[in-house]
Amino acid sequence: MKLLIILFIISLSFCSCDSILDSNNTQTATGTIHKIGMTSWMYGTHTLDDSNGLPIYALKSSTIDLNNYDNKEVKVSGDLIKGYPVDGGPKYLNVTGITVVK
């Protein structure tokens, strides 16, 4: 009986958690991808930078190898990750689609 109560409480806690991806907030943007070096806001593996070299988004992807697009102008689409930006960094995007512009 105690096990059943514990499992019930655990399942309630999972139901009450928000998803870290904001699937209602799909974004699309064009820019140049760069691998992240040292930054004050250590999240993401790459950035999508505007024409002035300023980051539009910090990027990550579990389905696309962003290294294949390093220093290329691309159009990306994906979902914002909740809880960002932090430490003065850009918004955080989980990339689900990408096409090379040039």
Rg of the chain over CA atoms, in angstroms? Answer: 17
Q: Is residue 64 included in any domain, yes or no?
A: yes
pLDDT band at residue 52 under the 50/70/90 scheme:
very high
Query: Strand 21-35 to strand 73-81: parallel, antiparallel, or no bridges (unpaired)?
Result: antiparallel
Q: Is residue 72 included in any domain, yes or no?
A: yes
Query: Which domain, by its residues, includes 77?
Result: 20-100
pLDDT digits (tens, 9 = 90+) for 6-49: 555 655 444 333 345 555 689 999 999 999 988 888 899 999 99
Is residue 73 within 8 Å of 100, Cβ to Cβ? yes
Judge if pTM exceeds 0.85. no
Q: Is residue 37 included in any domain, yes or no?
A: yes
The count of domains in the chain is 1
Domain of residue 71, CATH code: 2.40.50.500
d(CA 79, CA 86): 17
User: What is the predicted pLDDT for the residue at 27?
Assistant: 94
Q: Is residue 15 included in any domain, yes or no?
A: no
User: What is the predicted pLDDT for the residue at 56?
Assistant: 96
